[in-house]
Amino acid sequence: MTTREDAADLIRRMQECFNSRRFDQAADLHTPGFFSHPLGVAGFEAGREAWRAVTTRFPGMRVVAEDILVDGDRAAVRSVVEGIAVPDGDARPALFEIFRFEDGRFAEMWGAGTGFPASAGPEDLVGQTRERAPLTAECGPASAVVPATPVPSSSRDPRSGGRSGPGGAGQQQ
């Protein structure tokens, strides 16, 4: 089992490899059978290709984890993306990723992004450089993510801080 500290350290090490453009060193952080659900492929080579494509388009891009939540062999990560110009008033790009760990390394990844300029998300850029399996709404690029439907205020439970139902699935954004 991966500890919370080990998982957070592994995520920060991966982001440091990305931010310093040491893509080859990041390969050691992934299991041989690592599977990227957004890219639909096994192995880290496709991830390395995605990193190269996105940093070619955005040479100043950096990824910084703001939240890392660990539960057992999985971690959810919310990262801000720096170095990509967005129009005034637009939200800064962000990545939302879930990782599964095995033997202290990344074994699987699911992810989505938001706030990227049109056709400039990591999965979109890789798709422009090679053919890949079709992406699904569950793990595809931000354009495939369906936003949550706001719950009318009359149906919210005031005792749950604005959330409705178990787990607050209807929380307004």
Q: What are the pLDDT digits (tens) for 42-78?
A: 999 999 998 998 899 899 999 999 999 999 999 999 9
Is residue 87 included in any domain, yes or no?
A: yes
Is residue 160 included in any domain, yes or no?
A: no
Check which CATH number belongs to the domain holding 115 and give it.
3.10.450.50
Is residue 34 included in any domain, yes or no?
A: yes
Per-residue pLDDT band for 86 (boundaries 50, 70, 90) equals: confident
Is residue 172 included in any domain, yes or no?
A: no
Pick the closest to residue 78 from 113, 126, 120 (CA basis).
113
* Structural domain total, the chain: 1
Side chain identity at 55, as an amino acid letter?
T
Asked if 157 and 164 count as a contact pair (C-beta separation under 8 A), the reply is: yes
Tell me the pLDDT tens digit for each residue of 104-142.
999 999 999 888 877 665 555 555 444 433 333 333 333
The strands making up 41-42's β-sheet, listed across from edge to edge, are 41-42, 30-36, 105-114, 94-102, 74-82, 62-71
Q: Residue 149: what are its φ and ψ, rounded to 5°?
A: -85, 125
Model pTM greater than 0.85?
Answer: no
